[in-house]
Amino acid sequence: MKVTALNPPFLPLFSRGQRSPAVTRSGTLYYPIWLSYAVGALEQAGHSIQFIDAPAMDLDGETTLEKIKEFSPELIIVDTSTPSIINDVKFADSLTEEVGCSVFITGTHPSALPEETVLLGSKFTGAILGEYEKPLLKIAEALKNNLTIEGISGTALRSEDGVSVTQPDGYLSDLDSLPFVSSVYATHLPVERYNNPNALHPQVMIMGGRGCPNHCSFCVFPQMLTGRFYRSRSVQNVVAEMKWVQENMPEVQAVFFEDDTIAADMKRLRLLSEEIIKQKVTISWTCNMRATADYKTLDMCHSAGLRSVCVGFESGCNEILESMRKGLKTGQMTEFMDNARKADILVHGCFLFGIPGETRDTANRTLKFALNLNPDTAQFYPLMVYPGTDAYSDVQKAGLLDASSWRDWLKEDGTHACVVKTPDMTSDDLVEFCNYARRKFYLRPGYMIKKAWRSIWDKGERHRTLLAFRTFRKYIFRRGNG
């Protein structure tokens, strides 16, 4: 059967695939990773696929629609996000009307609010909820054989009476059964367009595991897609994909592990490092990592090619960390930073502001903590809350949600807006504090000299830094609500 997988047009370079979708200040553009894994599963099942990533391919609505009509699919799946959901359901309706086939939307937003989201539109077939390879394959098989799709678990189907919702029946257990997502990228997508400044460029994003056993209140993927437990691919399967990338995509300089935290299983992480070395894989890699990895593990990872890690430090105040259910203390974070520096691993530190309980004093304490940690790079952002997360419920219950439309999650230019406030900080105050923190961190003379020196002798670092600076420079000096 012919299936179109679509990351729909919205704003230029809108990074829909990341945890907090937006047009980013750093020039980050995520692969549509969940859609890509679904494409691999569909192709493995024998379906013919058209894969369009409109933001990465610079396609507007009219051109996208013409390409899909020319392909004439029998099924279309459309990726969505909270900030773009109104645009996305409107486009899904137009596809239904113009192409005349079954159209399903996917993503965290319809997973959290299935009935409400389906009813935002009036024509598209429905939504696929949660981690969607299993229900998608069942839908495709049913449509191929002219069978009913009613009752398939993990779906929200439009009907004359409204919306019929059938909850997901679990998660994919055998992750090794999925094709390498890198091969999907190589076949269908403009690899050079995607970028996360924390890894060398060009890069591929893969998952060595799904889900997260931790309970951070704000993280949307474990709560809406993958579950609060960790499932992993075998280390042999992961390393085989890294080797495939190295041999078949020579332009690619790095592998980015988009697992919520690759350190969820420390023993497995050490085994992964051993296997990378054993198989003589030399490509650089980067990952998301919780600040719990010990020095021995970090040193083993560095020996296996780990270049940098993205770490959610979030706050420099233990009471705020407790409020967000982080499960970590500041002392652990300081120890981790010392261990990473000793292991010669670069750290990108993430810090957020606006969790219930935040005050001007706690915000300033977090900024001081960030400056003392002194990671290689840092991002400072107001709390982004999404439907279905504990943080969204916490903010709603406290009367601190400052939004009237899903579009309020973005500014006019597509960059992140702030939709929360605290008792003594407005949403504009939180944005301005993040701008102030960014200037304090990046405009330190010692920091700028260090980065310039590293860029001189490290070609990969020079390319990565310049790529990010092209867009970041527009925001670093910005004051006010922007």
362 and 463 together in one domain: yes
Tell whether 40 is covered by a domain: yes
Q: Do residues 350 and 383 touch, judged by C-beta distance below 8 A?
A: no
Cα–Cα dist 244/182, whole Å: 8
Find, among 155, 181, 169, 157, the residue nearest to 42 by Cα.
181
Return the pLDDT at 482: 40
Encoding tokens for residue 145? Answer: 């054989």
Helices (H), 279-374: 295-303, 318-323, 330-342, 360-373
Tell whether 115 is covered by a domain: yes
Amino acid at 110: P
Cα–Cα dist 149/113, whole Å: 20
158 and 216 together in one domain: no
Query: Other CB atoms closer than 10 Å to residue 469's CB: what's the count?
Result: 16
Cα–Cα dist 12/234, whole Å: 37
Mean pLDDT for 94-122 is 98
Cα–Cα dist 70/77, whole Å: 16
On the question of pLDDT at 225 being above 80, the answer is yes
> Which domain range does residue 56 map to?
2-166
Q: 166, 182, 197 — which closes off a domain?
A: 166
CA angle 186, 195, 369 (to 5 degrees): 145
360-373 vs 330-342: helix crossing angle, rounded to 10: 20
Encoding tokens for residue 170? Answer: 């679990």
Tell whether 397 is covered by a domain: yes
Total count of residues recorded for the chain: 482
Containing 166, the helix (H) or strand (E) segment is: strand 162-166
231 and 365 together in one domain: yes
Q: Do residues 327 and 215 touch, judged by C-beta distance below 8 A?
A: yes
Backbone conformation region of residue 418, classed left if phi is above 0, alpha if psi is from -120 to 50, else beta: beta
Return the pLDDT at 26: 85
Cα–Cα dist 256/250, whole Å: 16
On the question of pLDDT at 347 being above 60, the answer is yes
162 and 212 together in one domain: no
CA angle 351, 353, 358 (to 5 degrees): 130
214 and 156 together in one domain: no
Q: Do residues 289 and 309 touch, judged by C-beta distance below 8 A?
A: yes
Q: 142, 166, 190 — which closes off a domain?
A: 166
Instruction: Locate the DSSP E strands across 54-101.
Output: 75-79
Find, among 305, 195, 295, 287, the residue nearest to 246 by Cα.
305
pLDDT per position as a tens digit, 128-143:
999 999 999 999 999 9
pTM of this structure: 0.93
Could you tell me the CATH number of the domain that includes residue 461? 3.20.20.70
The mean pLDDT of the chain is 94
231 and 147 together in one domain: no
Tell whether 431 is covered by a domain: yes
On the question of pLDDT at 344 being above 80, the answer is yes
Tell whether 187 is covered by a domain: no
70 and 214 together in one domain: no
Q: Do residues 183 and 40 touch, judged by C-beta distance below 8 A?
A: yes
Please state whether the peptide bond connecting residue 197 to the residue before it is cis, i.e. omega within 30 degrees of 0.
Answer: no
Could you tell me the CATH number of the domain that includes residue 125? 3.40.50.2300
Tell whether 126 is covered by a domain: yes
Tell whether 77 is covered by a domain: yes
Amino acid at 314: E
pLDDT per position as a tens digit, 428-478:
999 999 999 999 999 999 898 887 766 666 665 555 555 555 555 555 555
On the question of pLDDT at 327 being above 50, the answer is yes
Share of the chain above pLDDT 90, in %: 91
Measuring CA to CA, how many Å separate 201 from each of 250, 258, 377? 12, 15, 16
Pairing of strands 306-314, 346-353: parallel
336 and 260 together in one domain: yes
On the question of pLDDT at 274 being above 60, the answer is yes
Taking the chain, what is the end-to-end CA distance rounded to the nearest angstrom?
46
Return the pLDDT at 480: 45
214 and 280 together in one domain: yes
Return the pLDDT at 450: 80
Tell whether 198 is covered by a domain: no
305 and 415 together in one domain: yes
On the question of pLDDT at 377 being above 50, the answer is yes
**240 CB-contact burial (10 Å; exposed 0-12 / middle 13-18 / buried 19+):** middle
Return the pLDDT at 51: 98
Q: Do residues 344 and 308 touch, judged by C-beta distance below 8 A?
A: no
Contacts of 322 (CB under 8 A, 6+ apart): none
Helices (H), 383-444: 390-397, 427-442
Q: Which of 92-101, 404-413, 422-431, 451-460 has the lowest mean pLDDT?
A: 451-460
327 and 421 together in one domain: yes
305 and 387 together in one domain: yes
Number of domains in the chain: 2
Amino acid at 88: D
